[in-house]
Amino acid sequence: MKNENKNIEDINIGILGFGYIASGVFSLIQGQKSYLARKIKKNLNIKRIAEKDLKKIKACIKEFKDIKVSSDVNDVLQDGSIDIVVELIGGINPAYDYVYKALSSGKYVVTANKDLIANRGGELLAAAERNNVDILFEASVGGGIPIIGPLKSSLASNNISKIVGIVNGTTNYILTRMEKNNLSFDDALKKAQELGYAEKVNPSSDIEGYDAACKLAILSSIAFNSRVTLNDVYREGITDVSSDDIKNALDMGYRIKLLAIGIEENSQISVRVHPALIPMGHILASIEDTFNAVYVYGNYVGEIMSYGRGAGDKPTASSVVGDIIKIARNFDRKKKGIIYGCSCFEDKKFKSIDDTISKFYILMDVVDKPGVLARIAEVFGRNLVSINSMIQKQTDKEKSARLIFITHEVVNKNLYKSISEISKLDVVNKVLSVIRVEDLS
C-alpha cells in the first residue's frame, strides 16, 4: 500500500514495541491510509517495527511486505530514512535511552509513555530542542481525550489556575462497582482484574495512585509552565476506601472519586492525587466506570472539561496517530522545526501538602458512653479544626458507635495532628477513614 498517493510525500515511521497499543496504531494507520493521505497531503508510511517477540508482529503485517521487522531497536534508530519514531515500549528504562537517541539523530518522537514523560520529560524536551525536533505525548494522559494539545495550543494564551480530573479508569471502575454493586474494595478489584482493567499480578500503579500522579505531573508542567515530576505529587490511593465510606458519602449527597488536583496560586504549585468526596450535583460525580474527565480553569476561557475513554487500544491509538499527523502536516526534511516545545519556562515553588487547606470526612469507631464526643471535640478545638456536621450511627457491636464528621476547611497539618491525638484516646477504638471533601466550586 506504499505510495498509494504517488504525488505526495512519504513520512516514514518506525515503531518501537508492538503490544496492544502499537497494534492499534498500526491498524489505524493502515486502515485509514488513503483517507489520511487525502486529509493531510502526506503518506504515513510505516517502514520499520522493532519488537523482541517477532511472533507478535508477523500475524499483523503478513499482508504488508514492504515493512521491515526486527528484534533490534537500533535497526529503527539508525535508519536515516525514518522521520518519526513511535515509542510504545513503556517504562523509563530502556525507553529513555531509545527516545534520547532518536531525538539526538534528528528524528521526531511520539510516545504514550506517561512514566517516561512524568519522570524525565524535561531532559527529553531539551534534547528535542537542541536538535530542532519535538517529542509529542498526547496519549500519555487520558487515552483518546485531547487535553495536552489544547493546553499547548488553543489554551496557551490563558493563565491556568487549576486542573481537576479523574484520570485513571481502573480506580474509577472499582469505585463505581463498589457503589453500584455493593462490592468490597477487594471484590471490585478482582472484577477489574478479570476484565483486564487492572494488572493481575501487581495493580499498585493504579490503585495506589501512581498512574494518576504521573498524569497530573505532565498536565501540571504544561498548565503552570514549571517542571513537575512524579516525586513532586502528593499521593494517596483507594485501597483504604471501604464500602461504609461509599454508603456514608451517598447518604450525605457525595460520591467518592480518585481525583488529580493541580493548583497554582501566588506562584506556588500544589499537586495532589487522593480519593475525595465530591457533591453528586457536580458533573465529575457522574463519571463512571473506565471513563476519564479533566477540568481546566483558565482566566479567559473560564471552565472547560474534556471527557472520554481514558484507556484502551483504539482511543490511545487515536491520540498517538493524532500526534503523528501534527508532525506530518508541515513536515520538511530540509528544515525541521519544533511544533510545541517545552512550556516550562518558569521555576515555581511547591506548596507542601501540610500547608494546604481542605475539608475532611472522618469516620471513627468509639465507645458508646457519655462524654466521648466532648473529649474528641476538645482535641479538634485545640488543633483549630472546626466541625461542620456530625452523625452518630450505632454498630452491631455492644457499647460501640460510629461517628461521622465533616470538617470546615482546615490546614492539613492541623487535621493530621488532631487525628494522631484522637487515635490515642481510650474512648476511641479506631479512626477508620480520613478522606478529603472537595466542593469543586
Whether 310 contacts 287, CB under 8 Å: no
Catalytic residue among 215, 326, 351, 359: 215
Q: How far apart are CA 87 and CA 21, in angstroms?
A: 11
Residue 371, helix vs strand vs coil: coil
Residue 163, helix vs strand vs coil: strand
The three three-digit cell numbers of residue 350, written as one number: 511547591
Q: How far apart are CA 178 and CA 182, in angstroms?
A: 5
Q: How far apart are CA 14 and CA 69, in angstroms?
A: 10
Q: Which ranges of 289-431 would DSSP assign to H, the alpha helix?
A: 313-329, 372-382, 412-423
Task: Could you list the beta-strand ranges (E) of 200-242.
Answer: 234-235
92-131: b (≥16 Cβ within 10 Å) or e? eeebbebbbbbbeeebbbbbbbbbbbbbbbeebbebbeeb
Tell me if residue 215 is catalytic.
Answer: yes
360-375: b (≥16 Cβ within 10 Å) or e? bbbbbbbebeeebeee
The answer for residues whose C-beta is within 8 angstroms of residue 387's C-beta and 6 or more apart is 377, 380, 405, 406, 407, 408
Relative to beta strand 160-166, strand 254-265 is antiparallel
Angle between helices 20-31 and 33-40 (to 10 degrees): 70
List, by residue number, the catalytic residues. 215
